[in-house]
Structure formats: C-alpha cells, structure tokens
Chain A
Amino acid sequence: DVKVTQSSRYLVKRTGEKVFLECVQDMDHENMFWYRQDPGLGLRLIYFSYDVKMKEKGDIPEGYSVSREKKERFSLILESASTNQTSMYLCASSLVGQPQHFGDGTRLSIL
C-alpha cells in the first residue's frame, strides 16, 4: 500500500515565522502535490512537482515556496506566515495517469 506521510497532524505558529511542512511518499512516485483545503472553497492547488528539482505553480502559489531535493520528499514552505494561511494542508503523490494518494493532512493555525 502506498503511504504518504505528512510530518505533523496539527501545527501552531506565529505570524511572520518561516514554516516548513514536510511530505514523504514511499512508492517512487514522480508526481507530488500540495493543496490547501478551506470550507466553501474546496481543494486548491498550491504547487506541484513532476520530478526531482522540478516545481510548477498551482492556482494559489503566493506566499509559498516548495523544495524537492529527493524524489520521495516534497516540502512546502511558508516564507513569512500570515493568519490567512491558517488552513488544512494536504500532500498527494501519484504515478502519471494513476490515482493520487493523499496524506492525512496538516491542520495549521497561524496566530
């Protein structure tokens, strides 16, 4: 079974802090994705990556960056956290044309 592991289930940070969210998958998937999910807005794609050291902007990349130095790990970085980045963050991975596998999510609160 594919396992996508997000480093934290719950995280509380302060405004202005630099925040790292980590995601690791164990199935050698090329594709990895970061979403945020907010009530009424659904899932919105932040960044995605089709290979190591590659990254593409999604629909809402502002205020975020990503890093993919190894195939199994995709990190989401909030450069200077703000309260409007309080959300549920979901990581996913997949092979091309195959279903995405999701982690359990990180509920991030910015105070």
Chain B
Amino acid sequence: KQEVTQIPAALSVPEGENLVLNCSFTDSAIYNLQWFRQDPGKGLTSLLLIQSSQREQTSGRLNASLDKSSGRSTLYIAASQPGDSATYLCAVDSGNTPLVFGKGTRLSVIA
C-alpha cells in the first residue's frame, strides 16, 4: 500500500530564504505526483503536477522535482515571502486508485 511521508512537519524561515520541502513515497509505480497548498481553514489549491515521465515542473518561484527510483520529490521555493506561509501537501497518483496524501509541511515565512 502506498505511503507518503513529508518531513519536516513544520518549518519556519526568514523572508527571502530559498527553501526545500521534502516528500517521499514507498511505491515507485506512480502515474503522477502533485503538490498542493492549503491556507488555514480553506481547501487545497493545486500548485504543480509532475507526470511520472518528467523530472521537474516549474511555476514562477516554485520548482518541483521527481525522482521515481528513489521515491522522492522536492518542492523548491525561491526567495520566500510571508504570503508563502501555508501548509504544503504532496499527493501520489498511482493510476487506478485515489490520491494518497502526505500529512503536509506547515511553512511559516517570517518578515
């Protein structure tokens, strides 16, 4: 059964820092991997989707990488801002089953 782990559970950084959020998964037979953002009391917003054949995806200051063989993905946030403060979740799509979510990393960017 696929399991998704995100470490650390919480992270606090000063504004302007570049940072990396980590996601690992146990079964490398995936269809795609998705990164989401969740603001307090709100639903999830899709940030990036990486297909299994891709190595990375970029959107603005965000870059997500995927290493299927090692079961790892990272979300890189450049020049962090207080508005980036949120919980970031990764989720794995194995094709014929619903997404499996990690528990998220709660990010605080301090001005």
Contacts and interface: CB of A to CB of B under 8 A. Distances in A.
Interface of A: 4, 33, 40-43, 45, 48, 58, 90, 92, 97-105, 107
11 contacts: A40-B103, A42-B89, A42-B102, A58-B98, A92-B44, A97-B32, A100-B46, A100-B91, A102-B36, A103-B43, A104-B43
A90 B34 CA distance: 17
Main DSSP-derived SS at the B contact region:
strand
Interface string B54-89: 000000000000000000000000000000000001
Contacts of A100: 34, 44, 46, 91, 99
B45 interface: yes
Interface of B: 31-32, 34, 36, 41-46, 49, 89, 91, 93, 98-99, 101-104
B87 to A, nearest CB: 10
A58 B93 CA distance: 15
